[in-house]
Structure 1
Amino acid sequence: MAEAVKEARATAKYLRVSPRKARQVVDLIRGKRVGEALSILRFVPRKAARMVEKVVRSAVANAEHNYDLIPDELFIVRAYVDQGPSLKRVRARAYGRANIIRRRTSHVTVVVGERKEG
């Protein structure tokens, strides 16, 4: 019987960055070692990179605390961005009209775990 692989997750909800932009950052780290992922995020010049970095650090802390996993041996098993609710704002336009501006939010989830051998 296969041994269950321990995984730890962290989620940040209602982040004020659009899901499309956050996904570009998350795509850079998927499947990488945690140390390498944090190095990449440190030098990505995007607002979402700081937010994703915080979620990765939280997932590593959860793995270390809850499952006694060694941080140096962890990989990003899964990382994904879901769309949160949009904040709706109104912008005045010509002739008394109005446009709706959608300020999108994101839910970022990162799952870290040990790599399966074999």
Structure 2
Amino acid sequence: MNMETTVKIKHLKQSPTKIRFVLNELRGCKVNYAINILMNSNKKASNFILKAINSGLSNLENKGDFNQDKLVISNAFVDGGPVMKRFRPRAMGRASQILKRTSHLTITLSEKN
């Protein structure tokens, strides 16, 4: 039986571009290898991704018997979430817009034979 789970984390307070930088390195990798990379990374996005992978492992553990050595990150992407608009005062009475971006992270773990 092919075990597979999809984990979604929504409204992460980081831009999709910054999360994509870390996520592109992990797509298609084995889960154990990805966890080692994320534990030693100093990017904020690595904490979000690690939390999603651990959640996926817990989901698979509850579903039934699986082998963690055969698990791979089969699908991983990040989409833009809602954008909060803020204004920063500028010279001569003007104001400029600041966009505080959020992200929706989706990771699929599956067993590779």
Report the TM range for the smaller structure's normalisation: over 0.9
Listed as ranges, the gaps of 5+ residues in structure 1 are none
Deviation at 1:53, TM superposition (A): 0.7
Deviation at 1:71, TM superposition (A): 2.3
Q: Secondary structure at the residue paired with 2:6?
A: strand
What pairs up with 1:69-88 in 2 under 5 angstroms?
A: 69-88=66-85
Deviation at 1:67, TM superposition (A): 4.2
The answer to whether the Cα contact below 8 Å between 1:64 and 1:71 also exists between their aligned partners in 2 is: no
Deviation at 1:54, TM superposition (A): 0.5
Q: Show CA shifts across 1:73-118 (max 9, x none).
A: 21111111011011111100111111110011111111001114xx
Deviation at 1:50, TM superposition (A): 0.8
TM-score, normalised to structure 2, is: 0.92
Q: Secondary structure at the residue paired with 1:105?
A: strand
Moved more, 68-77 or 81-90: 68-77
The answer to whether the Cα contact below 8 Å between 1:10 and 1:111 also exists between their aligned partners in 2 is: yes
The aligned residue for residue 14 of structure 2 is 17
The aligned residue for residue 36 of structure 2 is 39
Does the alignment pair 1:107 with 2:104?
Answer: yes
Does the alignment pair 1:61 with 2:58?
Answer: yes
Which protein is richer in strand relative to its size? 2
Q: Residue type matched to 1:27 in 2?
A: N
Q: For 2:3 and 2:67, how far apart are their aligned partners in 1?
A: 11
Match of 2:49 among 48, 52, 56: 52
Q: For 2:93 and 2:10, how far apart are their aligned partners in 1?
A: 36
Listed as ranges, the gaps of 5+ residues in structure 2 are none
Q: Which runs of 4+ in 1 moved over 6 A?
A: none
